[in-house]
Amino acid sequence: MSNWLDEIAWDDKGLVPAIAQDAESGDVLMFAWMNREALARTAELGEAVYFSRSRNKLWHKGEESGHTQKVREIRIDCDNDVVLLKIEQVGGIACHTGRHSCFFQRYLGDGPRWEAVDPVLKDPKDIYK
């Protein structure tokens, strides 16, 4: 019997893209990376753990902000090279900007330009001390 982690098509750096989706609304909340340990810890804890490439370490989502992600389901795509986490976003804020989703900017062709279309729910200065 093979280890379930061996079935993931890890990239040459040992990472796999991970998408966090609100289990209720279907909103895509964020994108991050996972390494083998992050995915194993996510499954073990029932909360999202990612790998921070900039800090080169595991990142338990919400460890500073309190906005953890309770994992309801873990899926992989047909090529086994993307992880989808269906989650419950504690506090309703997934983005470090204080918004519900990291995907808050919409392309507008009349500029062309990007425009923030989702509100800040909480000032980041009040989230990160």
Cα maximum dimension of the chain: 56
| Bridge partners (DSSP) listed for residue 34 | 16
Cα–Cα distance for residue pair 9/7, rounded to 1 Å: 6
Quick one: pLDDT at residue 38? 98
Identity (one letter) of the amino acid at 85? L
Per-position pLDDT tens, the chain of length 129: 569 999 999 999 999 999 999 999 999 999 999 999 999 999 999 999 999 999 999 999 999 999 999 999 999 999 999 999 999 999 999 999 999 999 999 999 988 999 999 999 999 999 987
Q: Which structural domains are found in the chain, ordered by start?
A: 13-91+100-120 (3.10.20.810)
**Residue 116: its pLDDT value, please?**
97
pLDDT of residue 46: 98
CB 86 within 8 A of CB 28: no
> Residue 112: what pLDDT?
93
Q: Quick one: pLDDT at residue 128? A: 87
Contact 33, 42 (CB under 8 A): no
